[in-house]
């Protein structure tokens, strides 16, 4: 309540057999001096100044509260969804990329041999696929990214690791500048709007978890500065023994509010978790390859729709 508060006063009339009648005083534009009576009480939550003038209680200013972060923690990465919903930060990166001229219909990949287009995604450009019943709408995404599926990225090589993607030694000398990292070179040559980061199998035992996360963040920084949306990915194998590389991917995605494709979750119902027993439980089985390609296509379809519908 603001301004001068209405006050109840008691009027005594001796002409009507001393009947007590209550009346409401009209609001005044000037301070009103409180008159003591036997029955009237000061309104609740009001204060009296030393002079007896009724003053309104100061209204407390509401302090905005932060929106609770309900995301699953990185340690719970196994429970993360396969295909993520984009956070506001992702849309900001994409919008920056469009301002910088990134091609909305091009994606690229950073990964090792298991990201080679020989096995991964090229079939969608080479017409070697049949979409599952009820999933025919995925053809729109195949058409949208036509040419990207068969593209062999500068950042896809046998033995590629997070540190390698940052080392000019791993760049193609025929296509890249001598001081250009593979990541920078690939962005310059392909001009993608988003990049799928699928690393970790070729881990270095001497690389600590903290160092590995630092390398991933350096890759992410390069992409973000150039308006390219990084999409991190978990892997099916556990070559390191404690799934620490998947945890690192989840940690970076969580910290930077970036999307993570939880590929690991897609193969857990397959025999041996989608891994080939005859190949040291590192490489995918044929069935897992079918799962990987379809899940990646569904990921790209979801990202395309989320990003383009937000424009």
For 110-168, what is each residue's pLDDT tens digit?
A: 999 999 999 999 999 999 999 999 999 999 999 999 999 999 999 999 999 999 999 99
pLDDT of residue 62: 59
> What class is the 76-309 domain?
alpha beta
Token pair listed for 128: 């070697």
Domain spans of the chain, in order of start: 76-309
Measured between its terminal Cα atoms, the distance across the chain in Å is 45
Q: Strand 54-55 to strand 47-48: parallel, antiparallel, or no bridges (unpaired)?
A: antiparallel
Q: Which residue would you say has higher pLDDT here, 4 or 268?
A: 268
Q: In the chain, which ranges are continuous DSSP H helix? A: 88-99, 139-144, 182-190, 209-225, 244-256, 263-266, 286-309
Report the length, in residues, of the chain: 311
Burial class (CB in 10 A: 0-12, 13-18, 19+), 130: exposed
Q: Is the pLDDT confidence value at 196 over 90?
A: yes
pLDDT in tens, 11-56: 333 333 333 333 333 333 333 333 333 434 444 444 434 444 444 5
**To the nearest whole percent, how much of the chain has pLDDT over 90?**
71
Closest to 222 measured CA to CA, from 274, 271, 167, 260: 167
pLDDT in tens, 206-234: 789 999 999 999 999 999 999 999 999 99
Predicted TM-score (pTM) of the model is 0.78
Q: Strand 47-48 to strand 19-24: parallel, antiparallel, or no bridges (unpaired)?
A: unpaired
């Amino acid at each position: 309540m603001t301004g001068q508060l209405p006050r109840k006063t008691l009027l005594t009339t001796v002409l009507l057999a001393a009947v007590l009648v209550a009346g409401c005083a009209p609001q005044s534009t000037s301070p009103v001096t409180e008159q003591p009576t036997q029955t009237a009480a000061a309104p609740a939550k009001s204060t009296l100044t030393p002079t007896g003038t009724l003053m309104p209680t100061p209204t407390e200013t509401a302090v905005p509260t932060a929106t609770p972060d309900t995301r699953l923690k990185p340690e719970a990465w196994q429970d993360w969804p396969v295909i993520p919903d984009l956070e506001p930060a992702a849309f900001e990166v994409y919008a920056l990329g469009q301002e910088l001229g990134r091609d909305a219909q091009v994606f690229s990949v950073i990964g090792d041999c298991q990201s080679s287009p020989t096995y991964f995604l090229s079939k969608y450009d080479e017409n070697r696929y049949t979409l599952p019943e009820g999933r025919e709408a995925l053809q729109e995404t195949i058409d949208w990214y036509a040419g990207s599926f068969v593209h062999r990225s500068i950042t896809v090589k046998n033995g590629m690791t997070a540190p390698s993607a940052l080392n000019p030694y791993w760049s193609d000398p025929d296509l890249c500048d001598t001081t250009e990292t593979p990541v920078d070179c690939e962005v310059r040559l392909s001009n993608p709007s988003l990049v799928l980061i699928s690393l970790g199998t070729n881990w270095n035992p001497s690389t600590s978890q903290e160092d590995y996360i630092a390398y991933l963040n350096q890759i992410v920084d390069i992409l973000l500065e150039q308006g390219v949306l990084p999409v991190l990915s978990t892997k099916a194998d556990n070559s390191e023994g404690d799934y620490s590389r998947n945890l690192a991917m989840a940690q970076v995605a969580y910290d930077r509010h970036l999307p993570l494709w939880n590929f690991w979750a897609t193969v857990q119902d397959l025999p041996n978790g989608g891994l080939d027993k005859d190949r040291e439980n590192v490489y995918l089985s044929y069935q897992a390859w079918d799962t990987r390609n379809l899940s990646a296509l569904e990921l790209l379809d979801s990202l395309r729709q989320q990003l383009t519908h937000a424009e």
